[in-house]
Structure 1
Amino acid sequence: MPLADSDRRLVEAELGRDPTRAEAALFENLWSEHCAYRSSRPLLSAFTTDSDDVVVGPGDDAAVVSVPGTDQLVTFGVESHNHPSYVDPYDGAATGVGGIVRDTLSMGAYPVALADALYFGGFDRDHSRYLLDGVVEGISDYGNAIGVPTVTGSTQFHDGYEGNPLVNVACVGLVTEDRLVTAAANEPGNKLVLVGNATGRDGLGGASFASEDLAEDAETEDRPAVQVGDPYTEKLLVEANEALVDEDLVMAARDLGAAGLGGASSEMVAQGGLGARIDLGAVHQREPNMNALEILLAESQERMCYEVRPEDVERVREIAERFDLGCSVIGEVTDGNYVCEFEGETVVDAPAEFLADGAPMNDLEREEPSEPETDLPDVSVGKAFDAVLSSPNTASKRWVYRQYDHEVGNRTLRRPGEDAAALTLPAADALTLPAADGEVALAFSAGANPNWTDASPYRGAYATAVENATNLAAVGAEPLAAVDCLNGGNPEKPDVYGGFAAAVDGLADGCRAVDAPVVGGNVSLYNDSAAGPVPPTPTLAMLGVRQGYDAPGMATVGDGDLVLVGGHDETLGGSEYLAQFDGRAPFPDVADDGVAAVRAAATHDATLAVHDVSDGGLAVTLAEMVGEDAGVAVDVPSVGALFSEAPGRAVVETTDATALRDAVDAPVVDLGEATGDGALSVAVAGEVVDYGFEEIVDARRVLERELD
């Protein structure tokens, strides 16, 4: 995709001449939608991005927040690798993991947890299964090899992703204030040092490739734009980065991702209001006869660019050699332009801030999304229950997460499959809050539901924020911060841009309502294919914090009564029930006051189990609470109440329903009781639906049955 004529005219006016071939290519990539957010940046001011705990907000490789009650800082970031994962699902997904981990390293942090949110076309299609298999294997092989556990996430199927899957990956890292690094270059005269893999020709034009619709022949024609990962080198880079930070050798850092060396180095010095002089020939290379443009823009993986004091360069080189990593001094920070030279010729000479931030924003037309007409199916409760319970969207995702090492690092308190993951924090000497035995845990949730945003982009996105906050609340955690991955189709289509804009507003309002500042994120547009645009997909990853490690699980114990905190809801818009039977209805307005009530219930002394109501509604929630020796027997007033997916509610098993009702500020309705027979019995609308434990397990093994 060449530099647009209007952009070329701006560049010519700024430079006072025609751009060189390398300059034109660099502007094309840095001013692409993928890098410059030209269509989305005008919308992002809707988000609240600060709080007392936010140390570094949007704009760096990852956000940084402080954990109340400790001396610990947490880094938090999210990335999309959508187009690459369609062209090459294995390498596309693997390098997405590698990229978000290096974003963590560039802040001086050590990566401790990953989450993935995956979206594919209909599960009944062979191509969707092929993509799912390759993406999961790529995430698994890369994450497992580098020793960072994948602890939570989501997997969704929807016809809108048939020609364009979405692969969103989030990462959490740990750092302390004295080790924190940012991307802003500090001082002229400091050296720019490239550490990691040698530069090859893979990933050329990746940023511009990610900023256009996928063509029908993308799997063959666009393969050169997909990077190839090497997780074993990434693991060495993780440990080398720790050593460099330990010795205070890093003044600033940026990982080499979109637009390669040109992107990382120009953005570093632009953030510091400085310039650079770079010798492209000094870059250590994997392939012979590379030209300036290839060296500048290749997106070869496992590379970091560091700002280093001149007197520390030799020590950096020694550490790189110790970890068997390449190392080259490629230039220095200046107080002038961003200049790149190759074989004695100046190939780039432009103001760094103009390169990094000079792209003009797009002023696009938008159409307000329409509401679907209500058309409810006429089907028996038993048939509906069977269909929803065995849907790939609500079925067990064990086939996915069993391939991930989710316990490496010995921090995982809650494994995948629960409402939210939970992680221990390092034993901190500076704890100030009266936690049990000084224990503070992080909770981590990630995902979105395309059925919700398809029915209503605004309300569905608002519900996404409430749902993730409810996941945290179910393990007793309060929101600390969130990052988003805003996925949409071609913004030049008014209906697509209108839906995307509505989803942004809904997510912003929802995060504000649950007190979760949005501290960073990623935007991925042009997710269109011959199959059409993807639904607005505002993936949200949310971090929470709780005092103490002991939180109730979601499986019933069999010794208490069952209540629904937040009360019944009978709206069905966006539900799996409607999706299974081709029904339609608007998505409901979402209340957010239930989140605090669920959190209060989760930390109540009489609580034995908590599980939030989400995909599949109360039907799936109850089925997932049944264990081999503990069951559920309940009464539900209507089909709507059984299958509504309105978030902000949870089923709670309690030994004292009266005390629980007094302790929470939300409706609490009686459902029935937990039993000791390992069975599910639901009475609704004159019918009784019964399942044994093994029947539930078998119904929910759809992915395993079809993919093993």
Structure 2
Amino acid sequence: MEQHLPTVETAKKLGLLPEEFQKIQDILGRVPNFTELSIFSVMWSEHCSYKNSIVWLKTLPKDSPRMLAKAGEENAGLVDIGNGLACSFKIESHNHPSAIEPYQGAATGVGGINRDIFTMGARPIAQLNSLRFGNLASDKTKRLLRGVVKGIGDYGNAFGIPTVGGELFFDDCYNVNPLVNAFSAGIVEVGKTASATAHGVGNPVFIIGSATGKDGIHGATFASEDISESSAEKLPSVQVGDPFQEKLLLEATLEVLQTGKVVGMQDMGAAGITCSTSEMSAKGESGMDVWLDKVPTRQANMQPFEILLSESQERMLVVMEKGAEDLIYQICEKWDLYCAQIAEVTDTKRLRYYLHGELVADVPAEDLVLGGGAPVYHREYREPAYFQETLKFNIDQVAEPTTLAELKAIAKHLVQHPNICSRRWVSQQYDSMVGTATMTTNTPTDAAIVKVKGSDKAIAITVDCNSRYVNANPEEGCAIAVAEAARNIVCSGGEPLAITNCLNFGNPYVPEVYWQFVGAIKGMKKACEKFGTPVTGGNVSFYNQSSDEGPVFPTPTIGMLGLVEQKENVTSLVFQAADDLIYLVGESKNDINSSEYLYSYHSVKLSPAPAFDLEEEFKVQTAVKTLIQQKLIASAHDVSDGGLYITLAEAAMPNELGFAIKTNSNFRKDAYLFGESQSRVVVSIKPANQAEFESLLTEKKVNFELLGTVQEDICRIDDEDFYEVKEIKNLYDTALEKIMQ
């Protein structure tokens, strides 16, 4: 064992609390050596242990007849989609690395989330991302955006998985701390999946993939602290990715699984070898003897803690049945990957790490992991002062715009706003067609649609969260995020099945931040229960704040999986033909709360979340689902950021069709056109379907309103020519490009 035993000061430098250092001594019955303390520090970091969040995460709904893996217990969620197939999907954050080194931070986020999918035995077929940055007028924000988008594009394109959509949002609250959330989904045959477990005394344990270097050491700890001026000094905490190596690892992993000799498998993400050996052992109620000198390394004379904590990318830990060693060696040789037996399963329930025959660490597996001995905290929370301020806002504080010139100015502002305009500058850097399964590259839909090859099914996937709404009211705002994700899937012709979440918040030790977190979980719970979409797992990312700027907006990103049973039901958001009728399904409100219009045009930063009623939302979605199944509508597009006007413009632009609508005199014009009250969908229908369409909605007791008709090339509101579609389309398509140039 090492000399110079650590002190409480050492523990604090590694991110542990004094009482945690004492708890480690109680577990071991002695003072830990530095290697052991390092092991506990990463496994008990927020990033790995969820010690400040697990009490609330346990309240989320996690069951449905389609769930094939226990939530949070495997590398990714697994949901039955019928025909003997399952979809594995997950979302994770790579925020802190992307703030310091945007290209590699984002690239390795993409690599890590795809490894989570193929470690389950599933072949990834699509990825999404949810990105948040600060003020786009700043050179720093532009640099971060360029680096992140290029990192995602280069890695995903080279790896060969299409990036099929996502979201992009800008606000000053993300100036120091951007958010980079990556989502991936893959398909696997039911029964041919792998579990992240280790059991069977004497079974060999292999590391396959890349060699282990010094990149990413203490990355999990780095992700569990506030961003500060000294964060750039922790550049080694940022991993380096190699998409070509990952492609080889994908093929080798799936081939190893086909041997039928795999006991368990886990990718090496946060906390590297430490995490995979401890979590797999604890899950299998076993132990391991691990020989660190057998780990293929990139640098000579690496210290035990460096080998254990390295987060070098493109690595996998595989437990094979004894006697199947030759199979894994042959497969890895074929794919030109490192393959080394570094451990053996034991019945000790302890992890014993050796270097050149010397025992350098001896720790109980169960005490390292979530649900085992890792600490669990009930944090204090209290309502922040700003919350009462939001409630003071009244729509009458804003003068109602009534002239055509005023309304046109607002419309022009919104269509060019970075939070609303076309993401073409971003999406052109991604390959959405690799794999030839994407159905929505040339046919825009509210959710991305990807074919499940060999069947008539498709999956519908989306990532959603308006963090401004969540900041205004965490419970309502997070419920809206779930509802909007479900609405996007329903409008695209799908049935919502389940969610994964990426919970991005500030420092959990700040009671006002923790209040936001608790509220968001409550909102997610009630909405997921209503839509029957259990939580399959996900990621908590705390400490998204800086000493100067404070916390980011609470951003619980919802990644939702839906199923399109028949591909013919896929419904575009685009108007299809002139003279089609345009309807609003749902009910308008005299509401501009937290809208982009109120926030950026009028600079009113505090107002309540938009009007939202969960029961009303469910009714609207159920009705839209039936309308699509009965082939009664030509297009469907949900009303969200920018309100009704932006929804109409987005439906009009792709086919360069216009619209002529009448506003409703029961509402203020700005609320009607630019308000963001929820539970509304714009649909277009053939005139021949009008009677059946109206009769179905009347029968279902869902509000609807005839807005007007699809026109050839002009947008008309209340008989006034508003804009030519080509003019609006040009402003919308080029706004982001002009800013980035």
- Report the TM-score, using the length of structure 1 for normalisation: 0.95
- What is the aligned partner in structure 2 of residue 154 from structure 1? 167
- What is the aligned partner in structure 1 of residue 469 from structure 2? 452
- What is the aligned partner in structure 1 of residue 5 from structure 2? none
Once residues 520 and 674 of structure 2 are traced to their aligned partners in structure 1, the CA distance between those partners, rounded to angstroms, is 24
- What is the aligned partner in structure 2 of residue 532 from structure 1? 550
Verify the 8 A CA contact 2:714 2:721 in the aligned structure 1.
no
Q: Deviations over 1:143-173 (max 9, x none)?
A: 0111111112100111111110000011111
Matching of residues 118-517 of structure 1 within 5 Å: 118-218=131-231, 220-336=232-348, 337-356=350-369, 357-369=372-384, 370-371=387-388, 372=390, 373-376=392-395, 377-378=398-399, 379=401, 380-415=406-441, 418-428=445-455, 439-517=456-534
Tell me by how many angstroms 1:689 deviates: 5.9
- What is the aligned partner in structure 1 of residue 729 from structure 2? 697
Q: Deviations over 1:364-406 (max 9, x none)?
A: 2111252402154335322222212211101111111121111
Letter in 2 for 1:362: Y
- What is the aligned partner in structure 2 of residue 431 from structure 1? none
- What is the aligned partner in structure 2 of residue 585 from structure 1? 607
Gaps of 5+ in 2: 1-12
Tell me by how many angstroms 1:585 deviates: 2.4
SS of corresponding position for 2:68: strand
Aligned partner (choices 65, 68, 82) of residue 55 of structure 1 = 68
Tell me the number of residue pairs that the alignment of Structure 1 and Structure 2 aligns: 692
- What is the aligned partner in structure 2 of residue 601 from structure 1? 627
Matching of residues 505-654 of structure 1 within 5 Å: 505-529=522-546, 530-550=548-568, 551-557=570-576, 558-580=578-600, 581-583=602-604, 584-587=606-609, 588-591=611-614, 592-593=617-618, 594-627=620-653, 628-637=655-664, 638-654=669-685
Tell me by how many angstroms 1:573 deviates: 1.7
Aligned partner (choices 650, 659, 667) of residue 692 of structure 2 = 659
Once residues 410 and 632 of structure 1 are traced to their aligned partners in structure 2, the CA distance between those partners, rounded to angstroms, is 33
Q: Does 1:668 align with 2:668?
A: no
Gaps of 5+ in 1: 429-438
Verify the 8 A CA contact 1:455 1:573 in the aligned structure 2.
no
Q: Deviations over 1:306-364 (max 9, x none)?
A: 00112111110111111110011001111111111112221221110101131211222
Mean CA deviation greater in 638-647 or 223-232: 638-647
Tell me by how many angstroms 1:49 deviates: 0.7
Letter in 2 for 1:605: K
Mean CA deviation greater in 252-261 or 621-630: 621-630
SS of corresponding position for 2:612: coil
Mean CA deviation greater in 659-668 or 573-582: 659-668
Tell me by how many angstroms 1:629 deviates: 4.2
Once residues 483 and 570 of structure 1 are traced to their aligned partners in structure 2, the CA distance between those partners, rounded to angstroms, is 33
Tell me by how many angstroms 1:46 deviates: 2.5
- Report the TM-score, using the length of structure 2 for normalisation: 0.91
Letter in 1 for 2:573: M
Once residues 268 and 612 of structure 1 are traced to their aligned partners in structure 2, the CA distance between those partners, rounded to angstroms, is 43
Mean CA deviation greater in 239-248 or 488-497: 239-248
Once residues 90 and 143 of structure 1 are traced to their aligned partners in structure 2, the CA distance between those partners, rounded to angstroms, is 12
- What is the aligned partner in structure 1 of residue 8 from structure 2? none
Q: Does 1:681 align with 2:698?
A: no
Verify the 8 A CA contact 1:67 1:74 in the aligned structure 2.
yes
Tell me by how many angstroms 1:688 deviates: 4.1
Once residues 630 and 673 of structure 2 are traced to their aligned partners in structure 1, the CA distance between those partners, rounded to angstroms, is 26
SS of corresponding position for 2:225: coil
Q: Does 1:11 align with 2:42?
A: no
Once residues 656 and 423 of structure 2 are traced to their aligned partners in structure 1, the CA distance between those partners, rounded to angstroms, is 22
SS of corresponding position for 1:572: coil
Verify the 8 A CA contact 2:587 2:679 in the aligned structure 1.
no
Verify the 8 A CA contact 1:73 1:176 in the aligned structure 2.
yes
SS of corresponding position for 1:660: helix
Once residues 19 and 68 of structure 2 are traced to their aligned partners in structure 1, the CA distance between those partners, rounded to angstroms, is 38
Once residues 725 and 52 of structure 2 are traced to their aligned partners in structure 1, the CA distance between those partners, rounded to angstroms, is 50
Q: Deviations over 1:447-484 (max 9, x none)?
A: 21112112211111110011000000111111111100
Verify the 8 A CA contact 1:75 1:104 in the aligned structure 2.
yes
Once residues 79 and 186 of structure 2 are traced to their aligned partners in structure 1, the CA distance between those partners, rounded to angstroms, is 10
Verify the 8 A CA contact 1:275 1:335 in the aligned structure 2.
yes
Once residues 525 and 689 of structure 1 are traced to their aligned partners in structure 2, the CA distance between those partners, rounded to angstroms, is 49
Letter in 1 for 2:438: T
Once residues 647 and 541 of structure 1 are traced to their aligned partners in structure 2, the CA distance between those partners, rounded to angstroms, is 19
Mean CA deviation greater in 368-377 or 523-532: 368-377
Mean CA deviation greater in 614-623 or 641-650: 641-650
Verify the 8 A CA contact 1:470 1:649 in the aligned structure 2.
no
Verify the 8 A CA contact 1:451 1:576 in the aligned structure 2.
no
Once residues 204 and 677 of structure 2 are traced to their aligned partners in structure 1, the CA distance between those partners, rounded to angstroms, is 54
Once residues 469 and 314 of structure 1 are traced to their aligned partners in structure 2, the CA distance between those partners, rounded to angstroms, is 47
Verify the 8 A CA contact 1:389 1:620 in the aligned structure 2.
yes
Verify the 8 A CA contact 2:80 2:190 in the aligned structure 1.
no
Once residues 349 and 636 of structure 1 are traced to their aligned partners in structure 2, the CA distance between those partners, rounded to angstroms, is 72
Once residues 255 and 547 of structure 1 are traced to their aligned partners in structure 2, the CA distance between those partners, rounded to angstroms, is 32
Verify the 8 A CA contact 1:453 1:574 in the aligned structure 2.
no
Once residues 188 and 667 of structure 1 are traced to their aligned partners in structure 2, the CA distance between those partners, rounded to angstroms, is 64
Once residues 646 and 412 of structure 1 are traced to their aligned partners in structure 2, the CA distance between those partners, rounded to angstroms, is 31
Verify the 8 A CA contact 1:382 1:689 in the aligned structure 2.
no
The share of aligned pairs that are identical, in percent, is 37
Once residues 51 and 575 of structure 2 are traced to their aligned partners in structure 1, the CA distance between those partners, rounded to angstroms, is 49
Once residues 361 and 714 of structure 2 are traced to their aligned partners in structure 1, the CA distance between those partners, rounded to angstroms, is 69
Mean CA deviation greater in 402-411 or 638-647: 638-647
Tell me by how many angstroms 1:599 deviates: 2.1
Letter in 1 for 2:209: G
Verify the 8 A CA contact 1:118 1:155 in the aligned structure 2.
yes
Tell me by how many angstroms 1:634 deviates: 0.7
SS of corresponding position for 2:331: helix
Tell me by how many angstroms 1:663 deviates: 2.2
